Amino acid sequence: MTLETLVNDYKAKTSRSRQMYEEALRVMPGGNSRTTTFFDPYPFFITRGAGARIWDADGAERLDFNGNYTSLILGHAHPSVVEAVAEQATRGMSFPGPSEHEVRLAGLLTTRIPSMEVVRFANSGTEATMNAVRAARAFTGRSKLAKFEGAYHGTHDWVLVSVSPDPAKSGSRKRPKPVASSGGVPDTVLKHTVVLPWNDAEACVKILEKQGRDIAALIVDPLMANAGLLEPQPGFLERLREVTERLGIVLIFDEVISFRVAPGGAQQRFGVRPDLTTLGKIIGGGLAVGAFGGRAEVMNYYDPRGGKGRISHGGTFNANPVTMAGGVATMQELTPEAYARLDALGDRLRAGVKRVLSKSKQAAQVTGLGSLFWIHWTKKRLTDYRSRVPADAERPLRTFMGLLNDGVLLTQRGLGCCSLAMTDADVDRFLEVFGRVVEKEA
Ligand SMILES: Cc1ncc(COP(=O)(O)O)c(C=O)c1O
């Protein structure tokens, strides 16, 4: 089925969203406040979410495998989160001082993540990575930041480099060139960024050894979640740990998404201990949140009681009590049994997708871990960002649109997730619809 046919079908089903979008266009550039959620011809407007389902302005119901881009691990409006948030909201939405919920959430996180000796809260994953990088710079007195080609860490300048660059303009695979991923990123950022190739330990060690004494931090998403959920090859994270320790580089694990895969995140699953960890998404019960923490001697630069090189970290809504209450309620639901259930849902989905793909003889595959999955339209062995750039760039979007028109929500690029609100029957419904979408392409 062509993209045009899919878009026409979508338009026919979303007339109220179209009206709202036209209104939005008059007051916002592109009618939009969040680039990620935009797609042509216009995104559907969402009016309600409950459990595993979401409803749009035209009244259409969809099974939600997007989960606000992996945030909603319990599904929409989980009763215990709603209760905790509502209870706090009636007592006050935000205060000019700390609350008990903040200390409780900090306690829950530091207990789950042993490398996180201490933690601070912010309002987004972006703020979390920005502050972790700043801590590393203050601690080491160095200014460069190393990151992986294809990795996404939010929208501040220091990480908007080589997020989804054109490989033809990014130098060699073994020594990728820093490329700005957005307008407005100053050249000085590129000069202070070292880009590494994922899963190539030899190349990484070589680059880091050469520039290591200038590098404050290496930021790593241990699952490369936004580059296609590309698991680290055995021993790769261990090599990064060894070389960063040897060169005095602060190793930051950005677990904004990968914290989904175990009670202690990907670092627990892979058995590698970073210096700092950044969190977001699932830890706020669906509200705006970020957190960063780790070794006390690095984090102590944030101690407001003073000291040399103190970092100021204001933020009107940092650790606001409603978010913290939602976060505590969410963490309490995430028991070991809950993770086993999430793993089972993810395994069922990935196995089913493999069956559909092999039956239809599609050049495709599925990656992922725990409740996370990504459908790739290539048979190539996926090791790094460059290997996963799809040959047919439009195929992920056609899949997204096909699913959307048939009552299932994914992300535009192929990333999806299961939530605890889902049943096996919901996963099977995904597979049935996915099968139909794939068939129409065959
Ligand atoms: C790995 C990773 N880091 C950081 C961020 C930024 O988080 P936020 O969107 O809350 O700013 C994201 C967002 O998707 C992410 O996936």
Look at residues 333, 355, 372 and tell me which one is the last residue of a structural domain. 333
Separation of CA 100 and ligand 1 centre (Å):
26
Examine the domain organization and report whether 146 and 265 are in the same domain. Answer: yes
CB-based burial label for 182 (10 Å; 0-12, 13-18, 19+): exposed
Examine the domain organization and report whether 260 and 286 are in the same domain. Answer: yes
| CATH number of the domain enclosing 233 | 3.40.640.10
The pLDDT-based confidence of 442 (bands split at 50, 70, 90) is confident
Examine the domain organization and report whether 290 and 410 are in the same domain. Answer: no
pLDDT exceeds cutoff 70 at 263: yes
pLDDT exceeds cutoff 90 at 365: yes
Predicted local confidence at residue 441, as pLDDT: 86
The rounded mean pLDDT for the chain is: 97
Examine the domain organization and report whether 357 and 278 are in the same domain. Answer: no
Examine the domain organization and report whether 69 and 87 are in the same domain. Answer: no
What's the one-letter identity of residue 392? Answer: D
Look at residues 333, 352, 372 and tell me which one is the last residue of a structural domain. 333
**Distance, CA of 136 to chain centre:** 21
The pLDDT-based confidence of 389 (bands split at 50, 70, 90) is confident
Domain that holds residue 69: 3-73+336-441
* Cβ pair 435, 92 in contact under 8 A: no
The pLDDT-based confidence of 47 (bands split at 50, 70, 90) is very high
68 ligand 1 Cβ < 6 A: no
What is d(CA 243, CA 204) in angstroms, rounded to the nearest whole number?
9
Predicted local confidence at residue 4, as pLDDT: 96
254 ligand 1 Cβ < 6 A: yes
Nearest Cα to Cα of residue 431 among 348, 366, 374: 348
The pLDDT-based confidence of 417 (bands split at 50, 70, 90) is very high
pLDDT exceeds cutoff 60 at 35: yes
Examine the domain organization and report whether 34 and 136 are in the same domain. Answer: no
pLDDT exceeds cutoff 80 at 307: no
Nearest Cα to Cα of residue 414 among 227, 159, 173: 227
10 ligand 1 Cβ < 6 A: no
The pLDDT-based confidence of 306 (bands split at 50, 70, 90) is confident
> Cβ atoms within 10 A of the Cβ of 35, count?
9
Is position 301 annotated as part of the catalytic site?
no
Name every residue whose Cβ is closer than 8 Å to that of residue 158 and which is 6 or more positions away in sequence.
130, 133, 145, 189, 192, 193
* Cβ pair 217, 158 in contact under 8 A: no
What is d(CA 353, CA 375) in angstroms, rounded to the nearest whole number?
8
Grouping H, G, I as helix, E, B as strand and the rest as coil, residue 66 is coil
The pLDDT-based confidence of 309 (bands split at 50, 70, 90) is low
CB-based burial label for 206 (10 Å; 0-12, 13-18, 19+): middle
Is position 21 annotated as part of the catalytic site?
no
Instruction: Give the tens place of pLDDT for each residue, 144-165.
Output: 999 999 999 999 999 999 999 9
Examine the domain organization and report whether 408 and 344 are in the same domain. Answer: yes
70 ligand 1 Cβ < 6 A: no
* H-only helix segments in 248-384: 265-270, 296-299, 321-333, 336-359
Cα end-to-end distance, the chain, whole Å: 9
Examine the domain organization and report whether 188 and 310 are in the same domain. Answer: yes
pLDDT exceeds cutoff 60 at 308: no
Predicted local confidence at residue 368, as pLDDT: 98
Examine the domain organization and report whether 294 and 221 are in the same domain. Answer: yes
154 ligand 1 Cβ < 6 A: yes
**Of the listed 281, 301, 384, 385, which one is catalytic?**
281
Is position 174 annotated as part of the catalytic site?
no
The pLDDT-based confidence of 99 (bands split at 50, 70, 90) is very high
Q: What are phi and psi of 126, to 5 degrees?
A: -60, -50
Name every residue whose Cβ is closer than 8 Å to that of residue 280 and which is 6 or more positions away in sequence.
71, 124, 125, 128, 256, 289, 290, 291
Examine the domain organization and report whether 325 and 354 are in the same domain. Answer: no
Instruction: Give the tens place of pLDDT for each residue, 265-303.
Output: 999 999 999 999 999 999 999 999 999 999 999 999 999
- In this structure, the dihedral spanned by the alpha carbons of residues 181, 151, 276 and 289, taken in order and rounded to 10 degrees, is 70
Does this model's pTM top 0.85? My answer is yes
Predicted local confidence at residue 44, as pLDDT: 97
**Of the listed 10, 21, 42, 152, which one is catalytic?**
152
**Of the listed 56, 64, 221, 254, which one is catalytic?**
254
| Residue whose CA lies nearest to ligand 1 atom number 8 | 125
* Cβ pair 424, 352 in contact under 8 A: no
156 ligand 1 Cβ < 6 A: no
What is d(CA 241, CA 251) in angstroms, rounded to the nearest whole number?
7
Q: Which H or E element spans position 65?
A: none
Examine the domain organization and report whether 412 and 290 are in the same domain. Answer: no
Examine the domain organization and report whether 201 and 290 are in the same domain. Answer: yes
State the total domains in the chain. 2
Pick from 57-71, 84-98, 180-194, 388-402: least confident: 388-402
